[in-house]
A and B are shown apart, each in its own frame.
Chain A
Amino acid sequence: MLNSRAHVVLDTLLPPHAHPSLPQGLFDAGFENFYQNFARTANGTLRNGFHFALFIAIWISPLLIRRIPPITLYSRETRERALAAMEVSRFYFLRQMMLILKNVAALCYGANREVRDAIGYPRQHDGLRDTQNERRSL
């Protein structure tokens, strides 16, 4: 389970109602369920990297905008500024941490059916495959 601070960071990273065509936030897109699977099956580097990146976002990113951590003390606007500063930080390590956060969030968000519909990603034809004719592999 994600703790409440991690929840705040991820909700700030990908908030609901941020754009008319993409009203879903990360948690509307099912991140809680995604995370359960992720925590169980992702490789150790990615899983630990994600948790560490959350830690950095909570405790370090506010320092980049001269605020005292944790990030949860502040308004959404300030939190966004802290995370944005992390994304463009001159420290490669901090940029990499943000990259991990965004990539993991995107793995969930981009897989959501409603999000895909919103950007025009077509429903795939997998269900229509003729398994007898097209099952060409072993």
Chain B
Amino acid sequence: MIFDGEKEQRAVAEAFDYVIVGSGAAGATVARTLADSGASIAVVEEGPAVDTIEFDDHIFPTMQRIFRGGGLGALNARGHAFIPIFQGSCLGGTTVVNSAIIWRIPDDVWESWRSEYGLGQALPLPELHKNWDQIERDLYVEPTPPAVWGENNRLLDVAKTNLSVSAFPTRRNVRDCRGSARCSTGCPFGAKQSMLVSYLPYAVKRGATIFTSARVDRILMEGNQAKAVTGFFHTSTVKKDVAPFTLYARKAVIVAASAIQTPLLLARSGVRSPHLGSHFQGHPGCSLIGVFDQPVNLWSGATQGYESDEHRLDRRFKVEPLALPPELVFGAMPGVGQHWVENMAQAAHLAVWSAPIRAEAEGVVREGRFGTDVRYDLTRRDMLFLRQGLKFVADLFFAAGAREIIPNVHGLPERLKHPEDGRLLENGPDNPAAYSFALTHLFGTARMSVRSQDGVVGTDFCVHGARNFYVVDSSVFPTNLGVNPQHAIMGIAMLAARQIMAKNG
């Protein structure tokens, strides 16, 4: 059942075997796995209960409803530049607003986790592959078929052929996708197999209870043992607390609240470690806009249906087309006044491709005086790879037939008109403030470690020094991945759930 805290507005005090904080990729996967054991399960989600039928194609109201803090401006990583961070905050978490991209943990990343962090036994690769096999069956994962590529994705296929680079249709967890390009505001057709339409309904059918609009304040401890989760139901529009809740955990409390929220919750609950909130990593990226003679119609086709991993290993970036709705395309166009409108009028002829990098930078997540404080600054090497990534995107665009490129980089011309102009990007500014970044895919703020002095969470996913207190989301990852993390998060969460189940009976 679903207990919608926003509607019910009454206090709750109940006991369950397991209480899971967060309903995104990690929380929902744990709920789905534990549900098979017959245990009683509560899933606590800060965001509202939503339904596919609610997902609107107008960005502002949709962001207000399903993104943390309403999306734009709500959370920024602060350093030499303000980098907006986007997180889903609704039932299903960020899986509702991501592009459904599926990547297993690359072998090179897993090998570094084994050799540098000693996590080979804790995260056995054969078992992870079994989990990924199951998840891919459950979520209908397959490469994006040409029928739903749309022109934005198809042009990257053209560039691949012309430049002979490694690129391929993106593997996605979708079923009967129509190519409506609306992944990032919630698929209105229920085609994207987010947790909202897959693992959460599965768990509910097997008796799980989901509490929505329920903000967790802290984990109540008795000695070193996690006993309960406590917080307030709130209304999503005015963020007003309406009633308290306390959910007692007979067997375990499992935290899966994201690499931003998890360390803050752990800190509020009394967990102390110099690593808590530290080692924050992500995949910052910038986009270029390609202008084509023929219509591209960015709003037709899979949101992200094709990608290039040509330089994933040597230069730490991928390339991905990205469909944007008119509101966001307009916001990215240069100019003011008449000039801005003239640029907007070209919207149908624009393609948008981004270069997210596997940044080496590590930041810090803390509770600040005015809310969540994320400090994060890219390294010189990160900036080097970013510039090389943008140059590569420009090469791809021109190879696909782009007439011009709009770089949106301060200090560069508004439009690049010749393939040689790509060098301007490669030799562009070193200052992150010259670029328009977005930061997605967040990791590392409660990292797993063999020794307690090296991290926050042990190799059994239990907080060092605590009992029945687990963390299973991407906070525990020792590094970022260089690829989209949903599948990695789910595979590891499934592994954790099975271990927790085996330990607690």
Binding site for B on A (CB under 8 A): 12-15, 18-19, 21-22, 34, 37-38, 41-43, 45-46, 49, 76, 79-80, 83-84, 86-88, 92, 95-96, 98-100, 102-103, 106-111, 115-116, 118-122, 124-126, 129, 131, 134-138
Given contacts A106-B327, A138-B201, A138-B204, contact A13 B337 (CB under 8 A): yes
Given contacts A129-B53, A134-B52, contact A42 B64 (CB under 8 A): yes
CB distance from A16 to the nearest CB of B (A): 9
Given contacts A21-B345, A136-B52, contact A125 B180 (CB under 8 A): yes
CB distance from B41 to the nearest CB of A (A): 15
A-B contact pairs, 27 of them (CB 8 A): A12-B336, A14-B337, A15-B338, A15-B341, A18-B337, A18-B338, A18-B341, A19-B342, A22-B344, A22-B345, A43-B70, A83-B336, A107-B331, A111-B326, A119-B345, A119-B347, A121-B299, A121-B326, A124-B188, A125-B178, A125-B189, A126-B188, A129-B188, A129-B189, A134-B190, A136-B52, A137-B197
- Total chain B interface residues with beta-carbon distance under 8 A: 63
A14 touches B340 (CB 8 A): yes
Report chain A residues within 8 Å CB of B300.
122
Per the bound structure, the CA–CA distance linking A22 and B339 in Å amounts to 12
Given contacts A18-B338, A111-B58, contact A138 B2 (CB under 8 A): yes
Say whether B265 faces chain A, with CB atoms less than 8 Å apart: no
Known: A45-B74, A107-B60, A107-B331. 6 other contacts (CB 8 A): A45-B76, A92-B433, A95-B410, A109-B344, A111-B327, A125-B189
Say whether B325 faces chain A, with CB atoms less than 8 Å apart: yes
Given contacts A14-B340, A119-B345, A135-B51, contact A109 B330 (CB under 8 A): yes
Report chain B residues within 8 Å CB of A41.
64, 70, 237
B73 touches A138 (CB 8 A): no
A137 touches B339 (CB 8 A): no
Per the bound structure, the CA–CA distance linking A76 and B341 in Å amounts to 15
Report chain B residues within 8 Å CB of A86.
336
Say whether B69 faces chain A, with CB atoms less than 8 Å apart: yes
CB distance from B73 to the nearest CB of A (A): 3
Chain B residue with Cβ nearest A136: B190
A12 touches B326 (CB 8 A): no
B341 touches A87 (CB 8 A): no
Say whether B50 faces chain A, with CB atoms less than 8 Å apart: yes
Say whether B135 faces chain A, with CB atoms less than 8 Å apart: no
Counting chain A CB atoms within 10 Å of each CB, the highest count among B64, B74, B210, B347 belongs to: B347
Report chain A residues within 8 Å CB of B331.
99, 102-103, 106-107, 110
Report chain A residues within 8 Å CB of B335.
84, 87
B337 touches A12 (CB 8 A): yes
Binding site for A on B (CB under 8 A): 2, 49-53, 56-61, 64, 69-70, 72-74, 76, 81-82, 91-92, 178, 180, 182, 188-190, 196-197, 200-201, 204, 210, 237, 295, 297, 299-300, 325-331, 334-342, 344-345, 347-348, 410, 433, 436
Per the bound structure, the CA–CA distance linking A38 and B326 in Å amounts to 18
Per the bound structure, the CA–CA distance linking A43 and B61 in Å amounts to 12
Counting chain B CB atoms within 10 Å of each CB, the highest count among A76, A103, A110, A137 belongs to: A137
Chain A residue with Cβ nearest B347: A119
Report chain B residues within 8 Å CB of A49.
73
Report chain B residues within 8 Å CB of A109.
327, 330, 344
Determine which of A103, A108, A111, A137 lies in contact with B196 in the assembled complex, contact meaning CB atoms within 8 Å. Answer: A137
Given contacts A124-B57, A124-B188, contact A43 B336 (CB under 8 A): no
Report chain A residues within 8 Å CB of B339.
80, 84
B345 touches A80 (CB 8 A): no
Report chain A residues within 8 Å CB of B337.
12-15, 18, 76, 79-80, 83-84
Chain B residue with Cβ nearest A88: B410
Report chain A residues within 8 Å CB of B2.
138
Per the bound structure, the CA–CA distance linking A119 and B61 in Å amounts to 21
Report chain A residues within 8 Å CB of B325.
110, 121
Per the bound structure, the CA–CA distance linking A84 and B74 in Å amounts to 26
Report chain A residues within 8 Å CB of B53.
129, 131, 134-135
A111 touches B60 (CB 8 A): yes
B70 touches A111 (CB 8 A): no
B341 touches A137 (CB 8 A): no
A116 touches B70 (CB 8 A): no
Report chain B residues within 8 Å CB of A116.
326
Report chain A residues within 8 Å CB of B70.
41-43, 46
Report chain B residues within 8 Å CB of A18.
337-338, 340-342
CB distance from B233 to the nearest CB of A (A): 17
Per the bound structure, the CA–CA distance linking A57 and B4 in Å amounts to 43
Per the bound structure, the CA–CA distance linking A12 and B335 in Å amounts to 12
Given contacts A80-B336, A83-B336, A111-B326, contact A135 B64 (CB under 8 A): no
Per the bound structure, the CA–CA distance linking A10 and B332 in Å amounts to 17
Chain A residue with Cβ nearest B96: A137
Chain B residue with Cβ nearest A77: B337
Chain A residue with Cβ nearest B49: A138
CB distance from B202 to the nearest CB of A (A): 11
